[in-house]
Amino acid sequence: MQFPDPLLPGRLIKRYKRFLADVKLDSGEVVTAHCANPGSMMGLAEVGSQVWLSPARNPDRKLKFSWEIATAKGEPVGINTSHPNAIVADAIADGSIPELTGYAQLKREVRYGKNSRIDILLTGPEDVAPPSNTPPCYVEVKNVTLKRGAHAAEFPDSVTSRGAKHLEELGDAVEAGYRAVMFFLVQRADSSKVSIAGDIDPNYETAFARALSRGVEVLCYDCKVTPESIDLNRALPLDT
């Protein structure tokens, strides 16, 4: 994913009300940016840390900047949760995720389950209905930014009852004869594996174990993050 306009570097003054951040740009100007991340952003909102903002293309938008990249011990980390679905969809379309090849169609934000939308739905030819050799595949994408230790990126970084609900619905899809995948997209490149942060959300950890037992698959990939682009990088193992 290429950023359409050059990102602006600056230093974080503070993040507040979850979706707002004050930043001092390298030009000296102080601006308020939209923070498109509902999580805790643990370890990514240190005062004075290097950040990058994207300028708004809509001249009528109230906030003229969006926070795109944070840093943790010098490592750039993509924090904008509106990007992962597109990053994964583009990678599937160009064949960069071998585990998700062989499908004829890709649709995003398709209704399913109990008043939910699946991030990505992969299907075979329209005239092939399940069960078939290529049943539809439901892909739920989660943005991963947390890293507390030396090796593992972790999810979630805050309690997520919505995340647990998604796991249950993926399990329901498997039992209905479909394929279901939980896709953890790590928007940083300094981890060697992905683990579940059960100490942060024990209910999610329980829901995750149940989903695995029901046949939900898990894929983990990290990203190369730069002020120019965020690109899928490599597969990571799940730490079980």
The answer to whether 8-77 and 84-235 have equal CATH topology is: no
pLDDT for the residue 124: 86
Let me know how long the chain is.
240
Domains of the chain, residue spans: 8-77, 84-235
């939308």: which residue's tokens? Answer: 117
pLDDT for the residue 127: 46
pLDDT band at 35 (very low <50, low <70, confident <90, very high): very high
Domain 8-77 belongs to what topology?
Answer: OB fold (Dihydrolipoamide Acetyltransferase, E2P) (2.40.50)
Percentage of residues in the chain with pLDDT exceeding 70?
Answer: 96
Separation of alpha carbons 216 and 167, rounded Å:
8
């059960």: which residue's tokens? Answer: 198
pLDDT band at 132 (very low <50, low <70, confident <90, very high): low
Q: What are 115-128's pLDDT values in tens digits? A: 789 999 999 865 45
Domain 84-235 has CATH 3.40.50.720: no
Instruction: Print burial letters for 57-85: b (CB count within 10 Å at least 16), e (below 16).
Output: eeeeeeeebbbbbbbbeeebbbbbbebbb
The mean-pLDDT minimum among 21-25, 56-60, 70-74, 159-163 falls in 56-60
Q: What are 66-119's pLDDT values in tens digits? A: 999 999 999 999 999 999 999 999 999 999 999 999 999 999 999 887 778 999
Separation of alpha carbons 83 and 55, rounded Å:
16
pLDDT for residue 130 is more than 70: no
Mean pLDDT across the stretch 226-231? 97
